[in-house]
């Protein structure tokens, strides 16, 4: 675009507005890193916790969950770095940021509830899976990305079903839920963004 | 009776900047330059004019020792842009009838 001297006709003005707005369409940041980090981390923790508890009979099987705060630090550092390199922030990016902050807070609240009330461990994964469902369904709908929407919808069903199972089996349902809603869509999302960059 | 087109917005580069900013929450100077293909000097002048009109908010800060300029529409800028689009529509409708 050159100087501002050129006289615009109303028609040219409208075309210019449309062109510039359409240029911002690819402005959504690639969030696949967070899906893959949390997906694989929770998946590994669920399965190793199940193995340690039911097969090895290790009493402190829950130690594996100490990886969660590590994930939190990695996620925060990566997010801060990404923010530095980002040259544009869309309304969609902002909505997704607030959604995941709310989901993160909800996880913290649930963990505190579970620690304060020992009985609530029985339904812990029901609520965790419900939060995966909300996060991935809303993200998928905003990004118009079907694998996340489908993953979220399946997780709503898995959350309901999980209430019928013991905590041990809920660990297996949890790993299945995270595979469907985070890991598979996360890899597909990453591929989509990589294709867009080419 | 036609409303006069806002002279601040009725300029190619300033309108391009406003259209970009209406679609995103905020954008850095480098992003706007890349999308508009404008020279840094010309863009700087037009951004300053939009800022003086109160249509955009410009924040300057340092990021990794490099100056970074972020632009964002103000509520007044959004109103002006909407009024400009309405006025354009009036002109186009008049042209058709």
Topology annotation, domain B12-92: Arc Repressor Mutant, subunit A (1.10.10)
What DSSP string runs through A65-105? Answer: GGHHHHHHHHHHHHHHHHHHH--EE-HHHHHHHHHHHHHHH
* pLDDT tens digits along A121-169: 888 999 999 999 999 999 999 999 999 999 999 999 999 999 999 989 9
Count of residues for chain A? 198
Determine the pLDDT at residue A54: 93
Determine the pLDDT at residue A25: 77
Q: Where exactly are the structural domains of chain B?
A: 12-92
Place of tokens 């959504």: A28
A80 at interface of B, judged by CB pairs closer than 8 A = no
| Shortest Cα distance, chain B CAs vs residue A192, angstroms | 21
A143-146: long-range contacts at Cβ-Cβ below 8 A with a sequence spacing of 24 or more? A143/A28, A143/A92, A143/A96, A143/A189, A145/A185, A145/A188, A145/A189, A145/A192
Beta strands B56-63 and A88-89 are unpaired
Residues of B in contact with A19 (CB under 8 A): 19
Determine the pLDDT at residue A1: 52
Q: Using CA atoms, how far apart are residues A88 and A109, in angstroms rounded to an integer?
A: 32
Determine the pLDDT at residue B56: 97
Using the beta-carbon criterion (under 8 Å), do B88 and A14 form an inter-chain contact?
yes
Other C-beta atoms lying within 10 Å of the C-beta of residue B86 = 10
Q: Calculate mean pLDDT across residues B9-34.
A: 93
Nearest to B6 by CA among B57, B96, B79, B60: B79
Q: Using CA atoms, how far apart are residues A24 and B25, in angstroms rounded to an integer?
A: 11
Q: What is the ipTM of this complex?
A: 0.87
* pLDDT tens digits along A27-46: 677 889 999 999 999 999 99
Q: Using CA atoms, how far apart are residues A20 and B25, in angstroms rounded to an integer?
A: 14
Place of tokens 């100077």: B29
**Is the pLDDT assigned to residue A2 strictly greater than 50?**
no
Please state which of the ranges A47-56, B31-40, B55-64 shows the lowest mean pLDDT.
B55-64
Q: What's B9-76 look like in SS3?
A: CCCHHHHHHHHHHHHCCEEEHHHHHHHHCCCHHHHHHHHHHHHHCCCEEEEEEEECCEEEEEEEECHH
Phi-psi region of B64 (alpha: psi -120 to 50; beta: other; left: phi over 0): left
What values do phi and psi take at A117, rounded to 5?
Answer: -125, 100
Determine the pLDDT at residue A126: 94
Place of tokens 């340690």: A52
Determine the pLDDT at residue A120: 82
Q: What's A120-176 look like in SS3?
A: HHHHHHHHHHHHHHHHHHHHHHHHCCHHHHHHHHHHHHHHHHHCCCCHHHHHHHHHH
Determine the pLDDT at residue A34: 93
Query: Which of B15, B49, B73 is the mutation pick for testing A, counting most A CBs within 10 A?
Result: B15
CA distances from B37 to B6, B13, B24 (A): 23, 10, 18
| Shortest Cα distance, chain B CAs vs residue A13, angstroms | 8
Q: Calculate mean pLDDT across residues A43-51.
A: 96
| Shortest Cα distance, chain B CAs vs residue A87, angstroms | 5
* pLDDT tens digits along A72-93: 999 999 988 888 888 888 888 8
């Amino acid at each position: 675009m050159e100087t501002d001297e050129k006289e615009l006709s109303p028609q040219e003005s409208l075309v210019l507005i449309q062109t510039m707005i359409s240029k911002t369409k690819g402005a959504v940041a690639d969030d696949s890193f967070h899906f893959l980090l949390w997906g694989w981390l929770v998946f590994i923790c669920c399965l190793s916790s199940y193995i340690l508890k039911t097969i090895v009979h290790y009493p402190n099987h829950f130690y594996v969950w100490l990886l969660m705060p590590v994930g939190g630090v990695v996620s925060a550092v990566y997010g801060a770095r990404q923010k530095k390199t980002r040259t544009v922030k869309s309304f969609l990016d902002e909505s997704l940021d607030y959604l995941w902050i709310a989901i993160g807070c909800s996880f913290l609240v649930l963990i505190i509830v579970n620690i304060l009330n020992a009985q609530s461990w029985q339904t812990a994964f029901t609520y965790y899976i419900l939060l995966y469902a909300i996060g991935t369904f809303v993200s998928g709908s905003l990004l118009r990305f079907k694998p996340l929407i489908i993953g979220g919808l399946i997780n709503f069903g898995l959350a309901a079903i999980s209430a019928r199972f013991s905590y041990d089996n809920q660990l297996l349902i949890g790993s299945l839920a995270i595979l469907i809603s985070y890991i598979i869509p996360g890899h597909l999302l990453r591929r989509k963004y990589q294709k867009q960059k080419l | 009776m036609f409303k006069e087109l806002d002279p601040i917005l009725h300029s190619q580069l300033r309108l391009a900047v406003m259209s970009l900013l209406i679609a995103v929450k905020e954008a850095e100077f480098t992003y706007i330059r890349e999308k508009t293909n404008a020279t840094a000097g010309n863009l700087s002048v037009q951004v300053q004019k939009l800022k003086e009109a109160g249509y955009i908010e410009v924040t300057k800060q340092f990021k990794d020792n490099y100056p970074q300029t972020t632009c964002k529409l103000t509520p007044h800028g959004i109103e002006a842009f909407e009024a400009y689009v309405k006025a354009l529509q009036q002109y186009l409708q008049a042209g058709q009838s």
